[in-house]
A and B are shown apart, each in its own frame.
Chain A
Amino acid sequence: MLGSHEGRQPIGRATVHVAIVVSLGFVLLAVAAGYWGVIAAADLVRSPSDAAVIAASRTVPRGLIRDRAGKILADNKLDPNGEMYRVYAGKAISQVIGYASSVYGRAGLERAYDAELTGLTDDPLTDALAKFGADRYDPKDLSLSLSNELQKAGVAALGKRRGAVVMLDPRNGDVLALASTPTYDASGIADPTTARDTFEAIQADPDLPLLPRATLGRYVPGSVFKIVTAIAALGSGAINATTTYEEQPGSEKRGLLVEGFRVRDGHHPSTGSTALDLIGATEVSCNIYYALAGLDTGGKDLVAYANRMGFGSPLPFDLPTAVSQVTNGDGPEPGGFTDDVELANASYGQAEAFVTPLQMALVAATVANDGELMRPRLVTAITGERDGTTAVAPGSMGRILSVADARDINAAMVRAVEGALGQQFTTGAKVPGVTTAGKSGTAELGGSGEPHSWFIGFAPAEDPTIAIAVLVEQSGRGGEVAAPIAGDLMTLYLQGLR
C-alpha cells in the first residue's frame, strides 16, 4: 500500500452516515408537520391569532350574548367598510363579556367562547367538509345566567370604589351577578374608530379597569374565611357546634400563645369570660376561637376541605379564575403550612390566605345549599343554526359537608347578621322581613392603608335562593361597607329584580 492510501476510510460508509443523519432530520420535520398540522391544530385553528379566525371576525357576524331575561348584551354592527364590530349593552358587564376587537384581540367571554361565537365547528369531519363549502361558520349565541339588572345594581352599589360583587343561586350554581369596578367601555374598544384611544386610556388607568376583580382578583379574606375553617372543622369532626375552648376568653386579653407567638384579638367585652361555642364565636367573629378550631382541625384537613370547594386550582368556570389559597403550601407542616402560627392565623383569614370573590361566594353557597356545592354556571345554553340549542345542565362540585353540619354553620351565620351582638358587625346586611345569614370580614393588609371590606352571606336562611360575596378594596370594616351593599342587593333580588 502506498502512503497516500494509508488509513483512508471508504467514502461510502461516511456517506451513508451523512445520509442517515439527513434523513433523520427530515423525519423530524415530518413529525413537526404532523404535530402542527394534526395534534396542535385543534387548538390553533380556534385561537384568535389564527388568520382565518381574524378574517372571519371581520366579516362573519359573531354570535349574540343574552342575559337571563333575554336582553342582548353583545350585538354586531356594520362599519362603513362592511366589516363587523361589536357593541355591548353598557359598561356594567364589561369584565364578564369582555370585548372582541380587531386590534386588541379578545377578553372575557368573548375570548373564552371565541370559537363558539365565531362559529368554528369542533367536529373535525364537519370542519373538513366545511372547508370546501361556502360557509364554514355557524356562529352560536350564548345565553347567560347573568342578570343585567342585578349586575348594574351591583356596579351602582360599589359606586366609585374598587371592588366586586358575586351573586349566585346556591341551588344550581347560576351566576346572577359578577360585577367588578371600575368598569370600562368595551364598546369603545370594539369599535375600530375609537379602539386605540379607548384602550390606551383604560390601560393608563391606575385602578386597572381591565382586571375582572370578581374572578381574577386575589385578596386577603379576613374573617369571611372563618366559614371555610368552620366547614373544615365540622366536616372533619374536629369540633362540633357546641365545642368551646376554656382558654379562649382569657386569651383574648393576653393573646393566644402558639409556639411562642401570640395570636391576638380584640376583646369582646359583651361576651365577658364565657367560653364561646361555634355560634357565639361566629356572631362576635372571635379570632381566638377560630385559631383554636383551625389548630384542632389541622392544616391537612383545612386545606383539603378548602380544595374541595375550589381552592388550590382554577375554578371550573366559564371564565378564567385566579387560584385561591389557604397557604403558600411550601412549608413542612401538613397542608404545607410553615408552622402552627401560620395555621392559626390562616384559620381566621390572615397569614398567606388569598381568595377571589367568586371563591368566597362559592363558600357561602356551600353552606346555603346544605353542604352541596353547585358548579358556578354562567353560560346556560349555546344556540346555533346547524345544531340547535345545547343546554348546559347545572353540575355539582360534590357534597362538601353533611346537611346537619351545614345547618349548624347556617345558624351561626344567621346569628352573625340577626343576633344582637352580630348586628354590630354586619349593619345593613339584613334583608327586611327575611332571615338573613352572613359573615363580614375585615382583611388587614399589614399596616398599609385601610383594610379590605368583605361580606359573604345568603338569604332566606331557611331555604336560600341567593348567595352573595361582596368585596370592597381598602374601604374599611366589613360590617360598615360591604355588608350594606350585600343587604341591598339581596333585597333587590328577593323583591324580584332579575
Chain B
Amino acid sequence: MDGFTLVLWAARLLFLALIYLFLARVIRALLRDLRAATREPVDRHGRLIVLESPGGEPMVGRSFGLDVITPLGRDVNNAIVIDDAFASADHAVLTYRGQSWYVEDLGSTNGSYVNGLRVDGVAPFGFGDELQIGEVRMRLERANR
C-alpha cells in the first residue's frame, strides 16, 4: 500500500472517529445530565421557612413541608396558619405545578408580596424567594437540603 492510500485510509477513519468522539462526548454529557436529574429529590415540593414573625404564630425558624396545594391565612383550617393582624382568613395559596411554585393571592385585604413585589393574582414563586404576608416573612426552599 503506498503512502497516498495510507493517507486516504487515515482521513476516512479520522472522519468516522471524530463522529464517534462527538457521540461519546455527547453521551457523557447526557449521562451527567441524567445523573443530576436522578439526584434531584423525588419529592420536589419544597418547604417554607419562617424568617420573621412578630406575632409568634408561626414561630420563627419553623419549617413547613408543603403539599402541592398549601393554603395560608388566619383561618385555622389553613395548612399554614398565619396569626397576624394584617393577614386575611383565606389569604393566599401556594400551588406546585409542573416544576414550579406559584403564589396566588386569594384577594386578601393587605396583599401578598414576593421579594417585596405585590402579587397581582398569581405569581411564580421560586426557591429562595421570600413571601411576605402581613408582617410574617417566609422563604421557599427545596425540601431536602
Contacts and interface: CB of A to CB of B under 8 A. Distances in A.
Nearest to A12: B37
A133 interface: yes
B69 A132 contact: no
A2 B1 contact: no
Contacts of A1: 68
Contacts of A132: 5, 8-9
A286 to B, nearest CB: 72
Interface in A114-164: 129, 132-133
Nearest to B95: A2
Interface residues of A, number: 6
B42 to A, nearest CB: 11
Interface string A47-77: 0000000000000000000000000000000
A133 B1 CA distance: 9
Interface string B4-16: 0100110000000
Interface residues of B, number: 6
Contacts of A133: 5
A133 B8 CA distance: 10
Nearest to B37: A12
A140 to B, nearest CB: 23
A129 B69 contact: no
Nearest to B4: A132
Nearest to A128: B9
B69 A2 contact: yes
Interface string A1-39: 110010000000000000000000000000000000000
A339 B75 CA distance: 101
Nearest to B98: A11
Contacts of B9: 132
A132 B69 CA distance: 69
B37 to A, nearest CB: 10
A129 B8 CA distance: 11
A129 B1 CA distance: 9
A337 to B, nearest CB: 61
Nearest to B69: A2
A1 B9 CA distance: 65
Nearest to A11: B98
A132 B5 CA distance: 7
A47 to B, nearest CB: 25
Contacts of A129: 1
Contacts of B8: 132
Contacts of B1: 129
Contacts of A5: 68
A133 B4 CA distance: 10
A160 B116 CA distance: 111
A483 to B, nearest CB: 63
Contacts of A2: 69
Interface in B35-57: none
A132 B9 CA distance: 8
Contacts of B5: 132-133
A132 B8 CA distance: 8
Nearest to A134: B5
A409 B68 CA distance: 99
A353 to B, nearest CB: 59
A52 B92 CA distance: 76
A1 B69 CA distance: 8
A26 to B, nearest CB: 13
Nearest to B6: A132
Contacts of B68: 1, 5
Given A1-B68, A5-B68, 6 more contacts: A2-B69, A129-B1, A132-B5, A132-B8, A132-B9, A133-B5
Interface of A: 1-2, 5, 129, 132-133
6 contacts: A1-B68, A2-B69, A5-B68, A129-B1, A132-B5, A133-B5
Question: Which 8 interchain pairs have the tightest Cβ spacing?
Answer: A132-B5, A132-B8, A132-B9, A133-B5, A129-B1, A2-B69, A5-B68, A1-B68
